[in-house]
Amino acid sequence: MTDALVVFTPSGKRGRFASGTPVLAAARQLGVDLDSVCGGRGICGRCQIGAAQALTPPNAVEARYAAKRDLAPDRRLGCQACVQGDTVIDVPADSQVHRQVVRKDASSRPMVMDPATRLYLLEVAEPDMHEPSGDFERLARALREQWDISGLQPDIQVLQELQPALREGGWRVTVAVHRGHRDPTPRLTGIWPGFHAQGAFGLAIDLGSTTIAAHLTDLTDGSVRTAAGVMNPQIRFGEDLMSRVSFAMMTPGGAAQMTAAVRTALADLATDLARDAGIAACSVLEAVVVCNPVMHHLLLGLDPVELGQAPFALATSGALEGAARDFGLGGIAPGARAYLLPCIAGHVGADAAAVALSEAPERSRDLVLVVDVGTNAEILLGNTTRVLACSSPTGPAFEGAQISAGQRAAPGAIERVRIDPVTKAPRFRVIGCELWSDDPAFPADQPVTGICGSGIIEAVAEMRMAGLVDASGLIGSAEQTGTARCLPEGRTHSYLLHDGTDRGGPRIAVTQGDIRAIQLAKSALYAGARLLMDDFGVDRVDRVVLAGAFGAHVSALHALVLGMIPDVAVERVTSAGNAAGTGARMALCSRDARAEVERLVGRIHKVETAIEPRFQEHFVAANALPHATAPFDGLRAHTPLPDLSFNRAAPGADGRRRRRAPA
Q: What separation, in Å, do the N-terminal and C-terminal C-alpha atoms of the chain show? A: 77
Beta bridge partners of 507: 499
Query: Is residue 535 at the binding interface for its own copies, with CB under 8 A as the rule?
Result: no
- Give the bridge partners for 94, in sequence order: none
What does the alpha-carbon distance between residue 559 and residue 576 come to, in Å, rounded to a whole number? 15
> CB-wise, 17 or 247, nearer to its own copies?
247
The interaxial angle of helices 156-168 and 135-147, nearest 10 deg, is 80
The reply to whether 85 sits near its own copies by the rule CB under 8 A is no
| CB-CB contact of 379 with 390 (8 Å) | yes
Among 142, 345, 350, 433, binds its own copies (CB under 8 A): 345
What is the Cα–Cα distance from 570 to 479, expressed in whole angstroms? 34
Contact (Cβ atoms closer than 8 angstroms) between residue 210 and residue 549: no
The one segment of 38-46, 89-97, 135-143, 474-482 that binds its own copies by CB under 8 A: 135-143
Q: How far apart are CA 486 and CA 28, in angstroms?
A: 75
Tell me whether residue 391 or residue 454 sits nearer to its own copies (CB atom): 391
Shorter beta-carbon distance to its own copies: residue 285 or 338: 338
User: Contact between 527 and its own copies (CB under 8 A)?
Assistant: no
Q: Is 185 in the site for its own copies (CB under 8 A)?
A: yes
Longest dimension (CA), the chain: 100
Q: What are phi and psi of 484, to 5 degrees?
A: -70, -10
Q: Are 295 and 376 contacting, i.e. CB atoms less than 8 angstroms apart? A: no
We find the least distance from the C-beta atom of residue 462 to its own copies, in angstroms, to be 40
- Residue 125 CB, nearest distance to its own copies (Å)? 11
Coil/strand/helix, residue 602: helix
Q: Treating both helix axes as pointing N-terminal to C-terminal, what angle do 579-589 and 350-359 enclose, rounded to 10 degrees?
A: 80
* Residue of 535, 608, 617, 643 that binds its own copies (CB under 8 A): 608
Closest contact distance (angstroms) between CB of 476 and its own copies is 43
CB of 396 to its own copies, least distance (A): 25
From the CB of residue 223, how many other CB atoms can be counted at a distance below 10 Å? 17
Determine which residue in the list 29, 150, 316, 647 makes contact with its own copies, applying CB under 8 A.
316
**Pairing verdict, β 4-9 and 87-90:** parallel
Minimum distance, C-beta of residue 347 to its own copies, in the bound complex (Å) = 8
Q: Is 154 in the site for its own copies (CB under 8 A)?
A: yes
**CB atoms closer than 10 angstroms to residue 307:** 25
**Contact code string over 322-341 relative to its own copies, x by CB under 8 A:** xx--xx--------------
Q: Work out whether 606 is an interface residue with its own copies (CB under 8 A).
A: yes
Residue with Cβ nearer its own copies (611 or 661): 611
Report 283-312 residues binding its own copies (CB under 8 A): 300-303, 305-306, 310-312
The reply to whether 662 sits near its own copies by the rule CB under 8 A is: no
Q: Is 253 among the residues that bind its own copies (CB under 8 A)?
A: no
Which is nearer to its own copies, 145 or 276 (by Cβ)? Answer: 145
- Contact status: 137 vs its own copies (CB under 8 A): yes
Q: How remote is the C-alpha of 238 from its chain's centroid?
A: 24
* 130 lines the binding site for its own copies (CB under 8 A): yes
By C-beta, is 312 or 436 nearer to its own copies? Answer: 312
- By beta-carbon proximity to its own copies, the closer residue of 136 and 428 is 136
Residue 459 or 531 with smaller CB distance to its own copies: 531
> What's phi and psi for 203, nearest 5 deg?
-110, 125
**Residue 323 backbone dihedrals phi, psi, to 5 degrees:** -70, 130
What distance in Å separates the CA atoms of residue 198 and residue 191, rounded to the nearest whole number?
12
CA pair distance 134, 128, nearest whole angstrom: 10
CB of 182 to its own copies, least distance (A): 9
| Nearest partner of 531 among 617, 410, 466, judged by Cα | 617
By CB under 8 A, tell whether 67 contacts its own copies: no
128 binds its own copies (CB under 8 A): yes
Residue ranges that bind its own copies, judged by CB under 8 A: 126-130, 132-137, 154, 156, 159-160, 162-164, 183, 185, 300-303, 305-306, 310-318, 320, 322-323, 326-327, 343-346, 348, 606, 608, 611
